[in-house]
Amino acid sequence: MITTIAVANYRSLIQLVMPMAPLNLITGLNGSGKSNLYKSLRLLAETAQGGVINALAREGGLESAFWAGPESISKRMLSGEVEVQGGPRKNAYRLRLGFASDELSYCIDLGLPIPSASAFALDPEIKRECIWAGPVYRPASVLVDRKGPVVKSREGRSWQVVASHLNTFDSMLSEVADYQLASEIIRIRDVIRSWRFYDHFRTDAAAPARQPHLGTRTPVLSQDGHDLAAALQTIIEIGDHQALTEAIEDAFPGATISIDIQEDGRFVLRFKQYGLLRPLTAAELSDGTLRYLLWVAALLTPRPPGLMVLNEPETSLHPDLLPALGRLIKKASENTQVWVVSHARLMIQELMDSGRCNALNLNKELGQTTIEDQDIFDAPAWNWPGT
């Protein structure tokens, strides 16, 4: 289980250290930094897929993603006594992302290259990556250390070079594949690759989830939901069929679903509702019903990931469905760690009711995102490796 996620200098997150539980709920007013936090998690996940630099470029480059305020905010700036101002920087400017677990932890440092005449002078570079044992970084607990192009792993009392020509834009997680040389790299990579993100499902008339599709066994619903019928059929055959029936009954009393397989092998979802003479197909369902079924398929996955990240799952769901969605999310958190951003009061209430929800409310002070009521004593212990 992940115990901590830490972010520094990413947009409004100057320094955020977030404790993690099996079920985590992020709330906060508009502009408090919820989406920034979600995006920073996606960026962290990209490192293991080899796409962190491209993902940053899509966001407008490192210059745009960096915290745009002063290097440090003084008490006098906070109280309004003096204006917000920045002096010359004392430390190298680094965007940093990391996570901890009780066994292995990881962080990555991104920065700008030394100024040059190259056309790529604004390309971010990976400056450092570390894997250490236990939740808190200490120099003595480091197992794998990447500085610039060189990756070293600890071998008893000495260090062994694992790679020496890494490109500045490649993470060691995507480039080092030798289990013998550094098993920790492969283990961290596999952890991060198992994280699953769900953002907005399309439900317009041309949405992929409304079209019949060729079905294959689908233990993991795709991010666009085009394989909804196959994912539901997979739950029926090898997953928690009873939980599926209950989740539908919970939201639509008396309703049932079935999957029809056409002669050409295409799967069609049929939704039988109390009061109707024939079942409706996915093409005919209301946006809310379709979206709820998409969440059912995503959350009851027969192959739960290490971490499931849900960004505002309430979007365009009827308020009546929110408590049922909340119950579904709680159920999913029994098998996988769940991290969810939400504004929806009814769902928040349902999640909080479980008594074991780690609820974090975000605030913004002078442009900086903070966790409400977190002082330095409640923040989980976290150190960044030196630059």
Length of the chain: 387
Counting contacts by CB under 5 A, is residue 211 touching Mg ion? no
Mark the segment that binds ligand ADP (CB under 6 A) among 62-70, 93-101, 317-325, 376-384: 62-70
Counting contacts by CB under 6 A, is residue 11 touching ligand ADP? yes
For 123, counting Cβ atoms within 10 Å of its Cβ (0-12 exposed, 13-18 middle, 19+ buried), the class is middle
Counting contacts by CB under 6 A, is residue 36 touching ligand ADP? yes
d(CA 349, CA 347): 5
Least spacing, CB of residue 169 vs Mg ion, in Å: 28
Counting contacts by CB under 6 A, is residue 28 touching ligand ADP? yes
Least spacing, CB of residue 198 vs Mg ion, in Å: 15
The count of residues interacting with ligand ADP (CB under 6 A) is: 16
Counting contacts by CB under 6 A, is residue 94 touching ligand ADP? no
Question: Which residues in the 352-381 window bind ligand ADP by CB under 6 A?
Answer: 367
Mark the segment that binds ligand ADP (CB under 6 A) among 32-40, 174-182, 258-266, 314-322: 32-40
Starting at the earlier edge strand, list the strands of the sheet with 368-371: 196-198, 307-311, 337-341, 23-28, 357-365, 368-371
Long-range CB pairs of 66-75 (<8 Å, 24+ gap) are 66/9, 66/10, 66/11, 66/93, 66/95, 67/9, 67/10, 67/11, 67/12, 67/13, 67/14, 67/368, 68/11, 68/367, 69/14, 69/366, 69/367, 69/368, 73/14, 73/366, 73/368
Cα Rg of the chain (Å, integer): 23
- How many CB atoms sit inside 10 A of residue 113's CB? 15
Counting contacts by CB under 6 A, is residue 30 touching ligand ADP? yes
Counting contacts by CB under 6 A, is residue 82 touching ligand ADP? no
Least spacing, CB of residue 312 vs ligand ADP, in Å: 9
Q: How far apart are the first and last CA of the chain?
A: 27
Structure-token match 């320094």, residue found = 15
Counting contacts by CB under 6 A, is residue 34 touching ligand ADP? yes
Least spacing, CB of residue 28 vs Mg ion, in Å: 9
- Selected binder of ligand ADP within 31, 148, 149, 265 (CB under 6 A): 31
DSSP three-state, residue 327? helix
Least spacing, CB of residue 363 vs ligand ADP, in Å: 10
Nearer to ligand ADP by C-beta: 236 or 366?
366
Counting contacts by CB under 6 A, is residue 96 touching ligand ADP? no
Counting contacts by CB under 6 A, is residue 86 touching ligand ADP? no
- Selected binder of Mg ion within 6, 17, 26, 35 (CB under 5 A): 35
User: Dihedral (C-alpha) 41, 44, 50, 56: value to the nearest 10 degrees?
Assistant: 80
Counting contacts by CB under 6 A, is residue 311 touching ligand ADP? no
- What residue ranges bind ligand ADP (CB under 6 A)? 11-12, 28, 30-36, 64, 66-69, 367
